[in-house]
Amino acid sequence: MSDSFVFDLPVQAESREARINFLRNVILPWKTQLNLRSALDIGCGVGTFSAMLRDLGLQVTAADARAKNIEEARSRHPGIDFHVADAEDSSLSRLGSFDLVICFGLLYHLENPLMAIRNLQAVTSKVLVLESMSVQEEQPVLFLLDEPAGEDQSLRAVSCYPSEGAMIKMCYRAGYPHVYRFRELPNHEDFRAGIGRARARTVIAASISAVDSPLIAEASEPKPSGDLWTTDPTGVTKVLRRLRRNVKQSRNKKAR
């Protein structure tokens, strides 16, 4: 086993364990309720979450865009079908269809997050659980940021960090009929606000059929509010422009 992978650094251990515990507590009741048999772990890194899914009795396929990560994952976790595959590439559909798809810690590293979610929807037969760094904003916005090189960073040195509203909207627009917020998030500081700092990460679920679970609450699709170009938050100038336009149209009709 290599000791050179960033996924193994102690600084990541607490967050990783919190997310694993959260996911285990979600999947255990859903496994029976939704009859989950197969799972895909996309952006699997060296396979830590994949192994947890396997240990819960699911038939697991896992994919990561970096061949080095997949080589290491295969050496660590037998009994899992690992593949080199890019979430932003439509060829992801060749992996098949899965009852459960998980995507943890990947979305905000991508140039094209909406394309990736479309590709995830194409391989989801029941439910997706999607975790990401996010901006706590209801408006569906993406922030284009530079990223450093690294086996846990963007492939293309640039990525789109989503607002939580953007994550929800992208899932709806990708074709998931149902999107949910979790009532409780992982027990880690990244998933709660602190003094002088907003919550940094979130988890949502999206499903093909409605899921009735006390763990989640349905999320409405965010709609951009107001005129994105206005400098008058009162809306008075918008009303005046409309009146001026109506007067002009009335004069043109009379002139005819």
State how beta strands 142-146 and 158-162 pair.
antiparallel
Helices (H) and strands (E) in the chain, counts: 6, 10
185, 216 in Cβ contact below 8 A? no
CA distance from start to end of the chain: 84
pLDDT in the model for residue 224: 75
DSSP letter for 90, please: G
pLDDT at residue number 1:
42
Sign of the Cα torsion 167, 171, 173, 178 reads: negative
C-beta of residue 159 within 8 angstroms of C-beta of residue 110: yes
For domain 6-225, say whether CATH 3.40.50.150 is its number. Answer: yes
Q: What is the pLDDT of residue 108?
A: 93
User: Are the C-beta atoms of residues 106 and 153 closer than 8 Å to each other?
Assistant: no
Residues ≥6 apart with Cβ < 8 Å to 24: 52, 56
Which of left, alpha, beta for 79 (phi over 0: left; psi -120 to 50: alpha)? left
pLDDT of residue 241: 76
pTM for the model? 0.86
Per-residue pLDDT of the chain (256 residues; tens, 9 = 90+): 444 666 666 657 889 999 999 999 999 999 999 999 999 999 999 999 999 999 999 999 999 999 999 999 999 999 999 999 999 999 999 999 999 999 999 999 999 999 999 999 999 999 999 999 999 889 999 999 887 766 565 667 788 999 999 999 999 999 999 999 999 999 999 999 999 999 999 999 999 999 999 999 999 999 876 677 777 777 677 777 778 887 777 777 777 6
Tell me the domain boundaries of the chain.
6-225, 227-256
